[in-house]
Amino acid sequence: MTAPADTATLSTDVLVIGGGPAATWAAISAAESGARVTLVDKGYCGTSGATAAGGNNLWAIGPGPRREDAVRERELAAGRITDSDWMFRVLATAWDRLEQLSEWGYPFPVDAEGRELRSSLQGPEYMRRMRRKAHRSGVRILDHHPALELTADADGVIDGATGIARQDGGRAWRISAGAVVLATGGTAFLSGTFGTNVNTGDGLLMAAEHGAALSGMEFCTAYALAPEWGVHTKGRMLQWGSFYDEHGHPFTTQRGLSGRQDAQRALTRGERVFVRLDRAPEHIRQTMRDAQPNYFLPLDKAGIDPFSTAYPVRMVYEGSVRGTGGLRLVGADCATTVPGLYAAGDTATRELITGSLSGGGSRNGSWAIASGTFAGRGAAEFSRRRPGRHAEATASLRLSRSGAPTVEEVVAAAQAHVLPPLRSYLKSEDRLRESAAALETLWREVSDGLAPVPERDVYKQRQAVAMVAAARWITAASLARPETRGLHRREDQPDADHRYEHRILVGGLDAVWTGPDPVAPQLISSEAVA
């Protein structure tokens, strides 16, 4: 893409694209490694994204035998497609970084003996301090600067990105860099999930335009339960819930968080589901309100006491934000399959530590910390070793053309093949093939551009195209795994098949491809060895 004459141009050693926890950890880590760092965010770094909207618990286990127990337990529960080395490294790095976060002044609560409890983080306070630490580390932060595409040199090595400054009328910018870290989050397809309005798969599209491979996209099918009239999808409070069908009969299998499976199956069938938090002990109910006031606010406004009154819930798609899939990693430093490009957080596949299962917080929260650290350090080292940069050579999709579909039309068309539970929560070959054909037609319609928009809204065109691309990858990967494993549920293949105890790669734009990951899962569990 040829830059306009008034393009703002900058140069840096490491460019970080994104503004959540993985992005800020990457920026801080690169700066700690001696690199000049610039961070660009679609929103305002520290306030946009799923973490800033609520918070999360963490996979925080100190040194000792409990770490090995945790790794062994996880790889058995997660479909045996994880990597034990990655899990040990994430646990160790997250533990060390939490110690530093305490030193930076994060107010962890303490127990009766005065020991800090580091099992969770309050999102707004966490991200406020991460932004401040990044700034004090010398990171140049450019808010409301969505990236549109990556640039590469004549050898195909990523050397920066281009985008627009939304608050400057959509003025174009170009930043050259020795290496780039993508930490743009996953994609929830603008479903309304709490804090995910910026998570539209932009980074996946930008990387795929340069040939990047993805992994685990069939597991991008996480859903949350929210009050029927609300948008709060932080469902930890539901661990105290009892679920009921539309006739008031309790589900008979499991309760608490595990009972969500009963609820989601019923909702997928089109039935109404109700929940009551009656299993919460009296003495912690105020603590629950204090911990997540946003969860209770819409219920209070509706005059509902959730501890005594059942309220209706609905399924809200969370995609890869709480799912698993993302860019494939080929190095311990979070390098992708494209030279000069690194990925962290939800932009990278989490299969290495979560396998076929995921969720809100826990391993995801620790993954953001550790992968951001790995990627920032790796990008700084790559930039330091990199020789002089060459002439740029990159091609992009056309953004606008007269008579093309509008952004709203494209988004709605992509959502129609992802958001409904019968498309993603419970899959079948017939429905997947129907979606694949429709999405292929949609891709042909948008690949030459969308209907024009004001310059400051050009990023919305890229969001729409990214959603179409992600929907195609999810559908193709789901067809390539004819079994049920973790978040990937095939109605026509309800059992797990040992022949698919491997990760599945997917990629391509005009021609989508799939294939098994040539790197086998690394497991330590005795059952896996046997």
- Side-chain-facing half-sphere of 213: CA atoms under 13 Å: 18
Whether residue 73 is found in the same domain as residue 136: yes
What pLDDT, in 10s, does the model give residues 496-524? 999 999 999 999 999 999 999 999 999 99
Q: Is the pLDDT of residue 528 over 70?
A: no
Q: Is the pLDDT of residue 371 over 90?
A: yes
User: How far, in Å, CA of 235 to CA of 212, rounded?
Assistant: 33
Range of the structural domain that residue 39 is part of: 8-220+319-385
Long-range Cβ pairs for the range 277-282 (8 Å, 24+):
277/237, 277/238, 277/240, 277/241, 277/306, 277/307, 278/240, 278/241, 278/242, 278/307, 278/308, 279/240, 279/241, 279/242, 279/255, 280/240, 280/307
Asked whether residue 248 is domain-assigned, the answer is no
Whether residue 191 is found in the same domain as residue 73: yes
Whether residue 94 is found in the same domain as residue 177: yes
Among 94, 131, 166, residue whose Cα is nearest residue 456: 166
Whether residue 425 is found in the same domain as residue 346: no
Cα–Cα distances (Å) from 301 to 229, 290, 294, in that order, read 11, 16, 11
Confidence tier at 1 by pLDDT (50, 70, 90): very low
User: How far, in Å, CA of 100 to CA of 59, rounded?
Assistant: 16
What pLDDT, in 10s, does the model give residues 247-303? 988 886 666 566 778 889 999 999 999 999 999 999 999 988 887 787 888 899 999
Model pTM?
Answer: 0.94
Taking residues 80-108, what's their average pLDDT?
Answer: 95
Among 307, 324, 325, 326, residue whose Cα is nearest residue 360: 324
Contacts of 417 (CB under 8 A, 6+ apart): 423, 435, 438, 439, 471, 475
What pLDDT, in 10s, does the model give residues 448-479? 899 999 999 999 999 999 999 999 999 999 99
8 A C-beta contact, residue 185 and residue 347? yes
Cα–Cα distances (Å) from 305 to 118, 294, 330, in that order, read 30, 14, 50
Domain count, the chain: 2
Whether residue 427 is found in the same domain as residue 357: no
8 A C-beta contact, residue 215 and residue 505? yes
8 A C-beta contact, residue 10 and residue 115? no
CATH of the domain at 113: 3.50.50.60
Q: What is the per-residue DSSP string for 158-223?
A: EEEEEEEEGGGTTEEEEEEEEEEEE----B-TT---TT-TT-BSHHHHHHHTTT--EE-GGG--EE
CATH of the domain at 441: 1.20.58.100
Whether residue 509 is found in the same domain as residue 441: yes
Whether residue 369 is found in the same domain as residue 413: no
Whether residue 25 is found in the same domain as residue 70: yes
What pLDDT, in 10s, does the model give residues 228-248? 887 777 777 888 899 999 998
What pLDDT, in 10s, does the model give residues 176-199? 999 999 999 999 999 988 889 999
